Structure 1
Amino acid sequence: MHRAKEQGRNSFRLYLPRMNELARKRLQLNASLRGALERKEFLLHYQPKVDLTTGIISGLEALLRWQHPERGRMAPAEFVPILEETGLIAPVGEWVLQTVCEQIKAWQARGITVRPVAVNLSAQQFHQADFDAHVRVLITQSGVDCRLIELEITESMLMHDPAEAASMLNRLRRIGVKVSIDDFGTGYSSLAYLKRFPLDALKIDRTFVRDLTVDSDDAEIAGAIISLAHNLKLKVVAEGVETEAQLNFLRSHGCDEMQGYYFARPLSVEDCTRTLIENRRLDFPKSRIALRSARIFRADAEHIDGPTSAAKRIELADVELEWLRRCSAHVCAAPTAVVAALERAGFATLDDVGRLNVTNTGRDYVSSHNSQIKKRRRKRN
């Protein structure tokens, strides 16, 4: 019955015997959670965010974990919904913010330069009428610079009551904290409303980042979000970046920051402290075609239209290859950095309205690359 209600009106759920077991486990978790805060079973991990221009760590996101006495380390998806249902999310959320402030002070006491730390807010916290007052008191008592705290909210939290949300955001911004929209693109916020909210950043949801180098729709959505955010003077952070190809795509489209396993998983306090002390940074992959194409085509100028020698001797970056493959199927507009690289290689030219036309050399390169992939697959099989 509860699951049917969660689905909204005019819905139903069939009863299955295993539901008893699921309900029993849920009740056990519920009981355990009620004393978890007092037993100090919660802990925070920190995942770095990286500036896509400099490669330095530009911020951190605090992520809640539960060290269950019997089940071990549990991820938020397993217990946060229960915290929200029971109302325990409010005190736990306050503990998270307080712990982040204490950790910032601990790092500063060791002489470590700290970047802004983001904290995820629950709907219950954000919709409290005096939530901004709680934030002000907690940060003031901790002695932390307000500019080192970033609060992450979701689109649905904004659209629950847009007028009240805008008022709360204004009050939070007056405190000095930063505010960003988490998992952007998965909600239902209106662009007309979005420009009214006093925000600092948008975070592109990982579902769009995951396939943006192989799915043209996801690539278009990610590019559109970056363009939209910049038009609204907002910073853009991409979540869930795991591959070099994703990184190259985001950089070529002007994304400001990234967060994901490509640089670092969520880190324990000890590992995060070590990372900050070592001043770890992201070394960007060099554009292989930009470094090699000038030498190649000066040496083989008389064969610049010869697809065989070019295809054998040039290796495109993944993001450049993806755009070359896409624009081979139809004329399209590509990012400036990609256009420059493909033009240098002689693989494409721009028409009068700025669209990319792939040359025969470029089409032969795509064909040759696809053939090599098929051969490798046949060998594996």
Structure 2
Amino acid sequence: MSSTENTAAGDSRPRGPVDSSRIPRYAGPATFARLPRLDEVGTADVAVVGVPFDSGVSYRPGARFGGNAIREASRLLRPYNPAQGASPFALAQVADGGDIAVNPFNINEAVETIEAAADELLGTGAHLMTLGGDHTIALPLLRSVAKKHGPVALLHFDAHLDTWDTYFGAEYTHGTPFRRAVEEGILDTSALSHVGTRGPLYGEQDLTDDEKMGFGIVTSADIYRRGADEVADQLRQRIGDRPLYISIDIDCLDPAHAPGTGTPEAGGMTSRELLEILRGLASCNLVSADVVEVAPAYDHAEITSVAASHTAYELTTLMTRRIAAARAGEGAETK
């Protein structure tokens, strides 16, 4: 039996991924990072869940297949993260919670289903690491997280603002979730930032409206000129220790690094820049996150899925480090 599986009776250590030195990475079911399923461990500190939904897109569909593509690409992940100096799956229990099945023909119903499922998972004490799906899913996830933590800080990595009002009269689309979230009072408007934005807009009013909602903007050009460390420092100062939600549209990356997405924009950040910025947020109180808009039909040689799997891995590491540190602090207080 693999030492990483920890299935012995009475062993309280987290159950980790399948041992890839004994079972080839290409064998067996494709759970995220080859971790156990949630039903195999009962409860988890971090639940990785998919939301195969892309009915809110305004251009190319296909992100409904993103979650499973990320899981397949994550077969290559290993249990020790040297960039963060941590073994995330040993620090806390991480498990794959499967998919939240939603109605692909009724966006309003899908939004309600996602929120209810997130409520149930968060009610167990888990943090959520959600694999999309299109960006519409961020709104119900934020609603659920805010029920638990109150209005949350938000870092939104994306080529686009996603604060538009409607498309074709529809209020719930992948381009509107953060306007709805501000209107509903579930975001802490003193701690909101877009990261990686670029490309043409419908008009200058888009930026004016966005600023009124409280968003700061770090463009992809800012990242290029200032560097990942300086940008991460700016974001840490803006967020402080507020409960933080990170939402990552994979199109924040340049199409050279993420061709498999629905609305690509030239001039984006590299996958290295994205990962380094995330690693610079280790002191933040990350409570849940998502990675969305991976559309494998347009993905050459799984470039996008690989980038997304590593992005989810860094986010999971941030969460498990914070969970472990909190438990260590609680243990010290009881001595």
User: Structure 1 length normalisation: TM-score?
Assistant: 0.29
User: Structure 2 length normalisation: TM-score?
Assistant: 0.32
Question: Greater relative contact order (Cα 8 A, min sep 6): structure 1 or 2?
Answer: 2
Structure with larger Rg: 1
Between Structure 1 and Structure 2, the one with more helix by share is 1
